[in-house]
A = this chain, B = another copy of it.
């Protein structure tokens, strides 16, 4: 701003909001004004919710999920099939699979993918606990639900090699045409994979 038009407290609020994903300086200003207009309804409750989250959030020692209790809600849920582990890269992926209601099983959050260029090695991922769980908990199937990217697939291969001595069944998500997708807009790799894995109609 060319001139200061308000106190430093408002500037600081705008600067912090601008660091949220999807926000820039302009949308952060709009959000700040919206929050200030709705001081009682939104600003106060949001400040409290953030403070509570900061005080209470822990990483689940079992699976790496983020929650306000340890073991987390997923690990503590006895209605799930705890002999099947879905290995995901991030908590966001866990949430996405749960929104889809894909499978009521247990999870294991790696916290990223192997990426030698970025200096991320096996020690940086939540891998030793994965081996321990598979060895200890009579796991029957490990589903490698990592992203279909180069890093994701590299990580999946690495984990398959790690798990080989334990003789556990390992699977990966199917490749194919996204539901609602148009063939014309899909890449050749996806189309070839969908053709190879075609199923009876």
A191 contacts chain B at the CB level, 8 A cutoff: no
How many monomers of this protein are in the complex?
2
Interface size bracket, A side: 35 or more
Proximity string of chain A (60-81) to chain B, C-beta cutoff 8 Å, 1 when within and 0 when not: 0000011111001110010000
24 pairs, CB–CB < 8 Å, chain A vs chain B: A2-B98, A2-B99, A2-B101, A5-B74, A6-B65, A7-B56, A7-B67, A8-B68, A9-B52, A9-B53, A9-B57, A10-B67, A21-B34, A22-B30, A29-B92, A29-B95, A33-B90, A33-B92, A35-B53, A43-B50, A44-B54, A47-B54, A50-B50, A51-B51
Other A-B pairs, 20, CB within 8 Å; known A3-B77, A5-B73, A16-B45: A1-B98, A2-B98, A2-B100, A3-B104, A5-B65, A5-B94, A6-B65, A7-B56, A9-B53, A10-B68, A13-B53, A16-B49, A17-B46, A22-B23, A22-B31, A32-B53, A33-B95, A39-B57, A44-B50, A47-B51
